[in-house]
Amino acid sequence: MTDPLIVVRGVHFAGTLVACGTVGFIHLVAEPAKVPSDGRPLRNRLSVLTLLALAVDILSGAAWLVLLAADILGAPLLDVCLHGGAWPVLFETRFGLIWCVRFGLAVVLALSLVRAVPKAIQLAVAALLLCLPALVGHAGATPGLSGDIHLASDMLHLLTAGAWLGSLPAFVLLLWQAQQNPDPAWGDFAARATQRFSTVAILSVSVLLASGLVNSWNLLSGPRDLLTTDYGRLIALKAALFALMLAIAAVNRFYLTPRLPERTAMRGLQRNSLAEILLGLCVLGFVGALGTLSPTAHTHATAEPADVAFVHIHAPEAMADVTIAPGRPGPVQTTIRVMREDLAVFPVKAVHLRLEPPSPTHPALEREGTDLGDGLWQVNGITIPEPGIWTVKVTVTPQPGETVLLDAPIVIER
């Protein structure tokens, strides 16, 4: 895991989970458990924890954007930072648009901690901030009804991970505060809060298991992938760590929680929760790595030369492989293979290609495709004037059926 993008993704998800999980913990666990009258220090510490996590979320999100822009453009990080290379990615890709929305949500959530807002609004903002990354993950690229189910499952997976794993730091902070205060009211409060948190955790674990199975079904081509592919092995390791966390949670639930408000039980809960946090960080490291790999169920055979621009486009009705050769400014030849999800030939009457430039200084380029047979279409007579992130728009006229529009960004190198 030496790729900086893996580390940044893992840190970003950790910051998001803790920020949103702490907000959920405050409203669903701590406050309903009736914080003692002298509980302002605890409330302040939970607010500070949320703000620190949001800072990590925003900074790591910015790093993720820059690293992704450097990878898309094939440019050094310094050039991307100094010459505004991240702007096209920010405003011309789905990742960038979701990034802007989530940045706004993070700012709103931070402001809601210093100005009183209704609890429902704060929880809704936290939930959106937490589940929107699913739109730019593998689930967001899956077409059709199965894609909708996968996306909903991935969003639930993120929400329940925040409700359990993301709340653990706040739970540890609450236990620490209760141990520092000799007032018996704090021990009783810790017992009530632990019972509520245990209930939330049980519900979260149930949904995590179900959504994890749905996600694995969509991302793996079969059980053998768990042993024979890098992607599958990472999922298997993630599942093993999750099982270990469940074992610790079971000790907390059935052995330590019934002994509250004993101080030894609180210390044991705090120690075990810290162990769960460490295991959870390892899980997030695997999550960071998984996002940089192609799921085995989504792997399509592509043996393109190095000097081409290529993009695979999914839509519920059809998908297309678009290849521009060479992948740099100048005269180019474009080939478009139109197919179904199962890679069978999609019957097409006509294919129209439109290439929209990264800046308004040049007009869009449009041509009709020539049918080469077997689902392959060729477009000639195009000269690309500048490098950058272009937008490919392929209009497919099937026989029979309604017109299908496939669009995606594609990178033309310098």
Sheet hosting strand 370-373, strand order edge to edge: 309-314, 319-325, 330-339, 376-384, 370-373
Q: What is the mean pLDDT of residues 111-116?
A: 88
How is the chain split into domains, by residue range?
4-298, 309-412
Q: How confident is the model at residue 301 (pLDDT cuts 50, 70, 90)?
A: very low
In the structure, what pLDDT confidence band is assigned to residue 73 with cuts at 50, 70 and 90? low
Q: Render pLDDT for 24-45 as a digit per residue (tens, 0 to 9).
A: 999 999 999 999 988 899 999 9
Identical fold for domains 4-298 and 309-412, yes or no, is: no
- pTM of the predicted model as reported, rounded to 2 decimal places: 0.74
pLDDT, residue 143, reads 56
Is the Cα torsion angle 371, 372, 376, 381 positive or negative in sign? negative
Q: Is pLDDT above 70 for 334? A: yes
CA atoms within 13 A on the CB side of 193: 30
**Which pLDDT band, with edges at 50, 70 and 90, does 296 fall under?**
low
- The answer, yes or no, to whether residue 384 has pLDDT greater than 90, is yes
Is residue 405 within 8 Å of residue 389, measured between CB atoms? no
Could you tell me which residue, 246 or 343, shows the higher pLDDT?
Answer: 246
Per-residue pLDDT, averaged over 201-229, amounts to 85
Q: What is the second-level CATH architecture of the domain 4-298? A: Up-down Bundle (1.20)
| Range 201-205 average pLDDT | 91
| pLDDT value at residue 114 | 86
Sign of the four-CA dihedral 114, 120, 122, 123: positive
146, pLDDT greater than 90:
no
Rounded to whole angstroms, the Cα distance separating 7 from 292 reads: 11
Residue 342 has a pLDDT of: 61
Mean pLDDT to the nearest integer, 205-231: 83
Tell the CATH superfamily of the 309-412 domain. Answer: Macroglobulin (MG2) domain (2.60.40.1930)
Range of weakest confidence among 16-20, 294-298, 344-348: 294-298
